[in-house]
A and B are shown apart, each in its own frame.
Chain A
Amino acid sequence: MLEVKSISKDWREFRLRDISFEVKKNEYFIILGPSGAGKTLLLELIAGIFVPDSGRIFMDGKDITFLPPEKRDLAYIPQNYALFPHMKVYDNIAYGLRLRKIPKNEIDKRIREIAETLEISHLLHRKPETLSGGEAQRVAIARALILEPRVILLDEPFANLDPQTRAKLIQEMKRWRKELNFTALHVTHSFEEAVSLGDRVGVMLNGTLIQTGDVREVFSKPKNEEVAKFLGFENIIEGIAEGRILRTNGISIELPIEVKGKVRIGIRPEDIVISSEPIKSSARNEFKARVLAVEDLGSLARLTLDVGVIQLRAFITRSSLIEMGIEEGKEVYLSFKATAIHVF
């Protein structure tokens, strides 16, 4: 749907180099990268605020590289939300519809609807300066989504919020997606947002998009050491949760909390315990695994373990490695506590 082809741009201290990716219809695409990677500049190129030095941007096959922002049918939500300070919340949300000369009662109806979904009905008469960060973010999202744009561009949407509000908004964003069915391109430095919301993710470092793919795939198979370092080697497992049990490809994992539906969970490699014999303990998730690879990291070793159909990474001390005689192809038992699991 939205296709970016070999975009390059130098602007101030930012340089984007040969960036290509595609966002498919109804997909939630996340660009993950540290601050200063040029993520905002990339969004501004797609929004039409700047023009790339080279490369092309396509929307449904049509070249939009040089179209002005108002002709692109995209909505851009910058990091500071950019609510119009001189307008009430209602007028902020109505802004785009009024430009499109939609009849007044139709505008009113649509605003009431979206305000209800985003739970901002009680804020409609307020001025933006009186809103909290979370409220302002909801209003900014409403103002963008009410136009039913082909893609919404979100720049670090949750970065300026306190942790609780942030966690809540991330969960709600999942619900809004189901209800409003939009396509999103979201840039962030937050690993958690990427795993929680992303269908696919692109990792951007120093102005280059290094790896793009399914979230689980990118996290489990970082293309190079740089990406692996940035992602922090977390094990990401995807499955269907039913109460406290997550089922994925024939194995069941006990979860620390009750959830329902498709979820991703994360386990840190250092929380995985390796043993040669099964440990009898009810508080643990335990699986038989085969060692696929052993990487020497000095005093630690990193194991890649094959558990039926999923692969996990674990750290083990060098001495345990020698003691247990672990080598490629050996069968071991791995276990981790339910409390060590992070449910995204």
Chain B
Amino acid sequence: MKRDYVTAFFALIGTFMILYILLPLVVIISKQLLDWEMLSKALQDELVLTALRNSLITSTATMLLSLFFGVPLGYILARKNFKGKSFVQAVVDVPIVIPHSVVGIMLLVTFSNRILDSYLGIIMAMLFVSAPFTINAARDGFLAVDEKLEHVARTLGATKLKAFFTVSIPIAMPSILSGAIMTWARAISEVGAILIIAYYPKTAQILVMEYFNNYGLRASRPISVILVLLSLSIFVILRWFVGRSKQ
């Protein structure tokens, strides 16, 4: 058989991309493991722990909010045709094209002191930049649900809302959850907007910056590693759960 050079070539270029993503991860983690003392010190640092807790709480709250507001919107976008639908769809995608520092400025200009340096401010910044993932994933999930299933559920006696919760939601669930996980991941990795709106209460991603600015690379490394490991493991576990529920 003739060898498939095209595939081999593509795989070769692709490998560079994968290595490029993996290399810094491996380097920072292994360097930190050699510097065990700093890592354990960081793990006992009250400031670090509080910041990690703040990051987890705010990004999880953001994910729940994005589900509450995003799922109904995704359903409408999947099922209904209306005037201005493409405008609505475009608005959903707007946060992706705005630089995150600008998002922070915009929110601060709009809501000023009410959101400055507060949990609310952090969550609002996160929601703005990360909600599109949940909305779009929910829309795609509902698009894949055959409308006939909802119709049949109705004739079997379900109200529209009941059919939504017993048929559409369960079938679209894997897609919705994948979107929610992306929202969570995007939220916990948000820096730009938070930096502008809420320097306090301190989140881990801001703390990394602060340590870097004040004490340099070595000081900011342990908390970076902790944040990376924590986010990655939660991300991987959630993805694994969703993948399993798909089968």
Q: How many A-B residue pairs have CB under 8 A?
A: 63
Whether, in the assembled complex, A95 has its beta carbon less than 8 Å from a beta carbon of chain B, the answer is: yes
A84 touches B167 (CB 8 A): yes
**Cβ–Cβ contact B148 & A78, under 8 A:** yes
Q: Which of A128-168 contact B (CB under 8 A)?
A: 143-144, 147, 153
Instruction: Verify A147–B156 contact, CB threshold 8 A.
Output: yes
Q: Answer whether residue A243 sits at the interface, using C-beta atoms and an 8 A cutoff.
A: no
B4 interface residue per 8 A CB criterion: no
| Distance A44 CA – B170 CA, assembled complex (angstroms) | 24
Task: Decide yes or no whether A13 CB sits under 8 A from chain B.
Answer: no
Please encode chain B, from 95 to 112, with 1 for each CB lying within 8 Å of some chain A CB and 0 for all others: 000000000000000000
Q: Which of A68, A143, A144, A153 contacts B154 (CB 8 A)?
A: A68
Interface residues on A, range: 20 to 34
CB distance A82 to B154 under 8 Å?
no
Q: Which of B59-67, B157-165, B224-232 contacts A (4 or more CB under 8 A)?
A: B157-165
- Are B154 and A69 within 8 A (Cβ)? yes
Which one of A76, A84, A85, A86 contacts B155 once the chains associate, using CB atoms below 8 Å?
A76
Instruction: Give the nearest-CB partner of B156 in chain A.
Output: A96
Question: Any chain B CB within 8 A of the CB of A75?
Answer: yes
A198 partner residues in chain B, CB cutoff 8 A: none
The verdict on A178 contacting chain B, using a C-beta distance below 8 Å, is no
Specify which chain A residues have a CB less than 8 angstroms from the CB of B160 in the assembled complex: 68
Contact, CB under 8 Å: A86 / B171: yes
Contacts of A109 in B (CB 8 A): none
Chain A residues with CB under 8 A of B85: none
Which of chain A's residues have a CB closer than 8 A to the CB of B166?
A: 95
| Residue A309 CB within 8 A of the other chain | no
> Are the CB atoms of B158 and A99 closer together than 8 Å?
yes
Provide the A63-87 mask, 1 if CB < 8 A to any CB of B, else 0. 0000011101011111010101110
Contact, CB under 8 Å: A96 / B157: yes
Q: Using Cβ atoms and an 8 Å threshold, which residues of chain A touch B170?
A: 86
